[in-house]
Amino acid sequence: MDIVQIACGRSRHPDVVSARRGGRVHRRKSFIRDQRGAAAFEMLIVFGFLGVSLLLPLADVAAAGFQFVSAWEAVRAFGQRIQYDPPEDVTNWAAWKSALPTSVAGYPINNLQVLCGDTMAACSAANSGSPKHYSYTTTVTMSPIILTTVLCASGNANPCSYTLSYAQRFQ
> DSSP string covering the chain, please?
--HHHHHHHH-S-TTS-EE-TTS-EE-SS-HHHH-TTHHHHHHHHHHHHHIIIIIHHHHHHHHHHHHHHHHHHHHHHHHHHHHHS--S-TT-HHHHHHHS-SEETTEE-EEEEEEETTTTEE--SS--SPEEEEEEEEEEE---SS-HHHHS-TTSSSTTEEEEEEEEE--
Q: What's the mean pLDDT in 26-52?
A: 72
What is the C-alpha separation between 103 and 36, in angstroms, rounded? 61
- Least confident interval from 7-11, 40-44, 82-86, 110-114: 7-11
Which pLDDT belongs to residue 16? 54
Residue 93 above 90 pLDDT?
no
pTM over 0.85: no
Print burial letters for 113-133: b (CB count within 10 Å at least 16), e (below 16): bbbbeeeeeebeeeeeeebbe
- Least confident interval from 54-58, 98-102, 127-131, 156-160: 156-160
What is the C-alpha separation between 2 and 138, in angstroms, rounded? 85
Question: Comparing C-alpha atoms, which of 128, 114, 110, 119 is closest to residue 168?
Answer: 114
Concatenating the DSSP letter of every residue in 95-133 gives HHHHHS-SEETTEE-EEEEEEETTTTEE--SS--SPEEE
Which pLDDT band holds residue 100 (cuts at 50, 70, 90)?
Answer: confident
- Over residues 105-138, the pLDDT tens digits come to 999 999 888 888 777 788 777 776 777 888 899 9
